[in-house]
A and B are shown apart, each in its own frame.
Chain A
Amino acid sequence: MIEVGAKAPGFSLKDHLGRTISLDDQIGKRHTLLLFYPLAFTPT
């Protein structure tokens, strides 16, 4: 797993509405919390 203190690798993915979301666009504006799910429809 990536280590705390490392630079996060960039990504660009489509969301559930078809919008493209890029990490680059968040820099300087907001923090990014990535919650990975093994499967959709599963709880927290």
Chain B
Amino acid sequence: MYSNAAWAAALGGISIPLLSDFHPKGAVAQSLGVYLEKAGITDRATILIDAGGTVRYAASVTPAGKRDIDALVALCEQIDADWDLPEFVVTTSLPADVALYVRDHCMFSRWALYARENLHLDIPVYNVSVDEGRKAELESLGGKAQAPALRVGDTVMYESAEISRFLVEHCGVL
């Protein structure tokens, strides 16, 4: 779970749960027959379970292989077409006055933008590299013109990891 938390942070936050099949090790993988006993690792396997609990797809590309994501998306869409499920709505508990300040050529700004994109959040983005007005606004709100920064009401956070975590925790995708 701690490794997955670090991985999620490195990705800039993700909207899907990263599950840990850690203890007892690989128990869920074993129950689905995708645990590689000799190597002590889980296969790079993909299993699709429909909303009725039935397995609709099960395959492995071997640990060294690479999944065909486009093919998986097509498969999911095909199966979804057979179902009439409740509409998927992204809900957030973010306050209305949240805004993200970023700057050009900045890795940390990019991470914060990934989090916004991965979590499907429609919050405003201001680029302080080109927008002097927003830069001054950020400085007056948070005390520093440093970006990335996430404004939440009257408070400002400047650490990209903290920004990612805040966005993930206020995003009710699941």
Contacts and interface: CB of A to CB of B under 8 A. Distances in A.
B53 A16 contact: no
B51 A28 contact: yes
B19 interface: yes
A17 to B, nearest CB: 7
Given A19-B17, A40-B7, A11 B31 contact: yes
A35 B49 contact: no
A26 B51 contact: yes
What is the predominant secondary structure among interface residues of chain A facing chain B? loop
Interface residues of B, number: 57
Contacts of B174: 19, 21
A37 B36 CA distance: 12
Q: Which of B31, B49, B59 has the most CB of A within 10 A?
A: B49
B13 to A, nearest CB: 10
Interface in B14-45: 14, 17-21, 28-29, 31-34, 36, 39, 41-45
Given A2-B55, A9-B32, A40-B3, A33 B88 contact: no
Those 6 A-B pairs whose CB atoms lie nearest each other, nearest first: A15-B17, A16-B4, A16-B18, A38-B63, A13-B19, A1-B33
Interface of B: 1, 3-8, 10, 14, 17-21, 28-29, 31-34, 36, 39, 41-60, 63, 66-67, 69, 72, 76, 79-80, 83, 85-86, 88, 168-169, 174
Interface of A: 1-9, 11, 13-19, 21, 23, 26-41, 43-44
30 contacts: A1-B59, A2-B32, A2-B47, A2-B58, A3-B55, A3-B58, A4-B55, A6-B55, A7-B54, A8-B32, A8-B49, A8-B55, A15-B18, A16-B4, A16-B17, A16-B20, A17-B17, A21-B174, A27-B51, A29-B51, A29-B85, A29-B86, A30-B51, A30-B85, A31-B50, A33-B49, A33-B72, A38-B36, A38-B44, A40-B4
